Amino acid sequence: MSLTFESWRLKARDLLIKGVPPNQTYWDESPSLFSFEETALFAPVPHPKVPKEFMELAEAVACARDPERWALLYRLLFRLNHENQNLLNIVVDEDVHKAKLLAKSVRHDIHKMHAFVRFKKADIDGVETYVAWHKPEHLILPLASPFFVRRFGDKPWSIFTPDGSAHWNLQSLSFSEGMPQNEFDHEDPFDEVWKTYYRSIFNPARLKIKMMKAEMSPKYWSSLPETEIIHELIRNTPKRLQDMAEAPRFKAEVPKTSSWEELRTAALSCKACPIAQQANHTVFGEGPLQADLMIVGEQPGDEEDLAGKVFIGPAGQILSQALALAGIDRESIYVTNAVKHFKWTQGTESKARIHKKASGAEMHACKPWLESEIALVKPKVILALGVTAGTALYGRLVQIQSERNKVNTSSAFAKSLTISWHPSAILRAFNDDDREQKMKDLVEDLKKAHHLSQT
């Protein structure tokens, strides 16, 4: 059994009360501490006090893979009580600086674990269970695991690492010994889904290998199914770039007019890209032309295409619910899409039209219509919903999870530009927890965008 943060805390408190200075202690990875001297050189501290910030810092540092972490923490604890209660504010102090660097590294590792754990379905004693193997840089399993309870708590799961394993049985979270990767032998057909998804988001025009490795370090690649195709994608990048350069470029011809009706009428006959050939209607935006808030979705769905109306299908109903929860009157905002036609493919076993993502060229073709709508409405705030809308407005590939809390104040389209989940992402959520969290995020982002539009 190795030394834990709680066992360190109890022992450190006892030593501090007795007045034992840091240079008379020796910490190791066992639950033991050895004091070199019998007599303390400092006055006892009957009632030790530490700021809340120290406990948060210490909990993170305790997970660092650094043999000196326990001694460092006791040294800080001792100095807080004997030297300076505001020690943690002195960022140039050697101990403070090192502790904060370790804590930052640990928190970064926790973030990466949350992003890179890939569960695989397994049948264990007749029970559907989800398992994953991950190799973190630090000893973060106890701090990182509660996230998975919140996000995937409706199914039993286990996460194995070389240092320890976490298990969720739908009622409680427990921990056990670790497992080497060579003993983790599980395959899952869903691995192919990850590869398909990664192929779809891989943009050869923006390939920067150094940056890619910084964001998704190769040390995690062995446990990520999608990384099996990275070398293939890099190898094929020159050909894909050539194909992209030779591909036909479409662009809508938009009339110069200050009339919304004339603009909409012209859009109804737009045939600038192949999507228009299979669509029933051009789905233009709707709402007051003086709206301070504009919401831009991705593209129309089946019901929108049939009716020629924006956001009236299942995703539109989710948007209406979110607006109501946010206390926003839908009639007060302008709602549109980045792409004006429904792109679809025929279902293999039914006559249903299956939604298909618009390509970059098709999005580019529709962009003049979106720009014209923005120029007419002149919204103070634009909220982009989904990656396609975000890409059209930000001018680059966006990551909603990491960018939805940020406000872009340097956009050419509006005073403030923000992004959130598309309602269809809520409809396609992995489970109830994921669906609930994305809906909560969307409502929160709507409130923030509406507040910005009123200031």
Strands 353-355 and 344-346: antiparallel
CATH homologous superfamily of 260-453: Uracil-DNA glycosylase-like domain (3.40.470.10)
pLDDT level of residue 38 (50, 70, 90 thresholds): very low
Q: Is pLDDT at 450 greater than 90 in this prediction? A: yes
The span from the CA of 95 to the CA of 98, in Å, is 5
**Burial class for 373, CB neighbours closer than 10 Å (0-12, 13-18, 19+):** buried
384 DSSP β-pair partners: 296, 419
Give the residue, 210 or 171, on which the prediction is more confident: 171
First to last CA, the chain: 57
Q: Where, residue-wise, is CATH 3.40.470.10 in the chain?
A: 260-453
Check if the beta carbon of residue 12 is closer than 8 Å to that of residue 77. yes
**pLDDT for residue 337 is more than 60:** yes
DSSP class of residue 167?
A: E
Q: Which two tokens stand for residue 300?
A: 């129309």
pLDDT band at 116 (very low <50, low <70, confident <90, very high): confident
Question: What CA–CA distance (Å, rounded) separates 9 from 16?
Answer: 10
**Nearest Cα to 194, choosing from 113, 110, 118?**
118
Higher pLDDT pick, 380 / 127: 380
Is the pTM value of this prediction over 0.85? no
Q: What is the pLDDT of residue 1?
A: 47
pLDDT in tens, 409-423: 999 999 999 999 999
What is the full DSSP assignment across 308-368? Answer: T-SS-SHHHHHHHHHHHHTT--GGGSEEEESS-S--EEE-SSSSPEEE-PPPHHHHHHHHH
Range from 172-181, 187-196, 256-265, 317-326 carrying the lowest mean pLDDT:
187-196
- The string of pLDDT tens digits covering residues 294-325 is 999 999 999 999 999 999 999 999 999 999 99
The whole-angstrom separation of Cα 94 and Cα 92 is: 6
Torsion of CA 221, 222, 225, 227, to 10 degrees: 30
Mean pLDDT of 431-442: 92
Q: What are phi and psi of 306, to 5 degrees?
A: -70, -35
Burial of 18-41, coded b for 16+ CB within 10 Å and e otherwise, reads ebbbbebbebeeeeebeeeeeeee
What mean pLDDT do residues 349-353 have? 68
- The strand pairing partners of 129, in sequence order, are 122
pLDDT single digits (tens) 361-376: 788 888 999 999 999 9
Eight-class DSSP state of 95: H
3 state DSSP class of 100: helix
Structure confidence by residue, pLDDT tens digits, 282-295: 999 999 999 999 99
pLDDT digit string, tens, across residues 41-91:
666 767 778 889 999 999 999 999 999 999 999 999 999 988 899 999 998
* pLDDT tens-digit map of 387-397: 999 999 998 88
Contact at 8 Å (CB) between 108 and 136?
Answer: no
Three-state SS at 220: helix
- Alpha carbon distances (Å) from 91 to 19, 84, 103: 26, 13, 14
Q: In a 10 Å sphere around its CB, with 0-12 CB exposed, 13-18 middle and 19+ buried, how is residue 437 labelled?
A: middle
- pLDDT(133) > 60: yes
Cβ contacts of residue 427 below 8 Å, gap of 6+?
314, 315, 318
Sign of CA dihedral 286, 292, 298, 301: negative
